[in-house]
Amino acid sequence: MKISRRAVSVGLGALGAGHAFTSARAEGLISELSGDVEDFRAGSEAYIYGYPLVTMEMTRRIMTNIAAPEGTHAPMGQFVRMRSYPDASYRVVTAPNADTLYTTAWLDVGKEPWILSLPEMKGRYFLFPMLDGWTNVFQVPGARTTGTGAQTYAITGPGWQGTLPAGVVEYKSPTAIVWLLGRIYCTGTPEDYAAVHALQDQCKVVPLSAWGKDWTPAPGKADPSIDMKTAVRDQVNALSGVDYFKLLAELLKTNPPAAADAPILPKLAQVGVVPGKDFDPSAADPAVLNRVPKISFDRIMLQFVTGGDFNRVNGWLYSTKMGLYGTDYLQRALVTAVGLGANRPEDAIYPVSTKSGSGLLARKYDGANKYVIRFDKGQLPPVKGFWSLTMYDENYFFVANPINRYSISARQNLKENSDGSVDLYIQHDSPGADKESNWLPAPAGKFILMLRLYWPNPAAPSILDGSWTIPPVKVAS
């Protein structure tokens, strides 16, 4: 099973012509619908609106379909604690990182609140974004927002009212579904692995009813009917229109729309989806609804080409509109489709580059060439957390290399040029012993680069407002 945990950047370079939406196809479909065009349009809007909620639920089912924590899976209410960075043989999750160890959990706060306890991080960078069922990051405890001291939170569900233990801060989730997507910085040395493991083991989640008690979670139950191999996106896209809207209606019972969503609710009702009620199969022609998914997903992917909030600078592509979406349902659906789990831009930006050069002269990166990216003096990525440049093959997996280096950052004690600038050498063969500190090994064939900026500078120079720009990657002369 391949589940992307990256920000939107994970899928940006992978969107192919197979997702292209053509006007001819649209016109042909509409002509088939004749008098049901309005139902189809309403269905398409409803599909795009509900895509994040349905995708989150399908992801939750797969990631929690296990009896006890193992690898990237854990039962509801229990932590996944990733203990090491993957190597080049890893093929489970696309675009893995070698910067933070994940500590994640899925919670159902619809019945009662859950208490999250985080230990003293001793100045170490971390963040624990909390995603609701609509993929909005509704709270982000971490180094940027709450500091690195010990902290305890109660995550409460929609409409909950009650009394919390003294000293516990309440975070209100708009939905019953909550995904804790924690990340803790780690250098990857044996000593630092041990230090982060100790911190991971001190991260706790318990239901409010068990707070202060000696509580052991019950084993999970694995459902053999759940497909654990097919990618989540493919499973969602394979749902018929009727099955999709039936599931959406069920999810809306515990994951209500936001107040700002009121204008779109009549369109949902037109296809039989009313928040709090069962799906009404008589509201629209099933044959019309079953045509909705394919063309609506094409609309989502078309947003990547013709719309969406993306910046294109010096061959790099990135977004500063993630994590909180308001009523921009197309952007929210697109980020869900290609980068489920995206952070708020204040916490992380993930620029991706697939080609060197620009316009008609742009060419995909190839290990047959040598490349260099130069940061002028004082112009390394401006962050308050950390930055790194990661090498992926054309399928977004790590690249085997003789020095086992999958990303490069300030951790490598980068050498400066005489003028204070810093060159990073991106090539298959070693640039020489005197330059290896600045070498990011490439495969012999095609590859993709991703620059991670955690906690980017909030003020100039900053990628957030464009006062700092990423330099181009050039073919070495």
Q: Are residues 128 and 206 in the same domain?
A: yes
309: Cβ–Cβ under 8 A, 6 or more apart, which residues? 319, 320, 321, 328, 331
For residue 219, being part of any structural domain is answered with: no
- Domain tally, the chain: 3
Q: Are residues 203 and 88 in the same domain?
A: yes
Q: Are residues 255 and 328 in the same domain?
A: yes
* Residue at 400: amino acid letter: A
Q: Are residues 366 and 456 in the same domain?
A: yes
Question: Which CATH number do you get for residue 261?
Answer: 1.10.3360.10
Q: Are residues 111 and 134 in the same domain?
A: yes
For residue 275, being part of any structural domain is answered with: yes
Q: Are residues 193 and 126 in the same domain?
A: yes
Q: Are residues 137 and 29 in the same domain?
A: no
For residue 454, being part of any structural domain is answered with: yes
For residue 67, being part of any structural domain is answered with: no
Q: Are residues 357 and 275 in the same domain?
A: no
How many angstroms separate the Cα of 260 from the Cα of each of 256, 272, 325? 11, 20, 11
Cβ 390 vs Cβ 450: under 8 Å: yes
DSSP string of 70-92? BTTB--TT--EE--S---TT--S
Q: Which residue has the tokens 């997996």?
A: 397
Cβ 99 vs Cβ 238: under 8 Å: no
Q: Are residues 191 and 279 in the same domain?
A: no
Q: Are residues 370 and 333 in the same domain?
A: no
22: Cβ–Cβ under 8 A, 6 or more apart, which residues? none
Which domain range does residue 399 map to?
351-475
Cβ 312 vs Cβ 359: under 8 Å: no
CA atoms within 13 A on the CB side of 376: 5
Q: What is the pTM of this model?
A: 0.90
Q: Are residues 87 and 167 in the same domain?
A: yes
Q: Are residues 368 and 262 in the same domain?
A: no
For residue 416, being part of any structural domain is answered with: yes
- Pick the last residue of a domain from 339, 359, 389: 339
- Pick the last residue of a domain from 315, 339, 363: 339
pLDDT at 17: 33
- Environment class of residue 388 by beta-carbon count within 10 Å: exposed (0-12), middle (13-18) or buried (19+)? buried
Question: Which CATH number do you get for residue 437?
Answer: 2.60.120.1600
pLDDT (tens place) for every residue of the chain, 477 residues total: 343 444 334 343 333 333 333 444 555 555 555 458 889 999 999 999 999 999 999 999 999 999 999 999 999 999 999 999 999 998 767 888 999 999 999 999 999 999 999 999 999 999 999 999 999 999 999 999 999 999 999 999 999 999 999 999 999 999 999 999 999 999 999 999 999 999 999 999 999 999 999 999 999 999 999 999 998 989 999 999 999 999 999 999 999 999 999 999 999 999 999 999 999 999 999 999 999 999 999 999 988 777 668 899 999 999 999 999 999 999 999 999 988 999 999 999 999 999 998 787 889 999 999 999 999 999 999 999 999 999 999 988 999 999 999 999 999 999 999 999 999 999 999 999 999 999 999 999 999 999 999 999 999 999 999 999 999 999 997
Distance CA 269, CA 417 (A): 64
For residue 176, being part of any structural domain is answered with: yes
For residue 1, being part of any structural domain is answered with: no
Query: Strands 422-427 and 439-441, how do they pair?
Result: parallel
pLDDT at 449: 97
pLDDT at 386: 97
3-state class of 57 per DSSP?
helix
For residue 255, being part of any structural domain is answered with: yes
Question: Which CATH number do you get for residue 105?
Answer: 2.60.40.1610
pLDDT at 22: 44
Distance CA 158, CA 350 (A): 32
- Pick the last residue of a domain from 154, 181, 210: 210
Phi, psi angles (nearest 5°) of residue 390: -110, 140
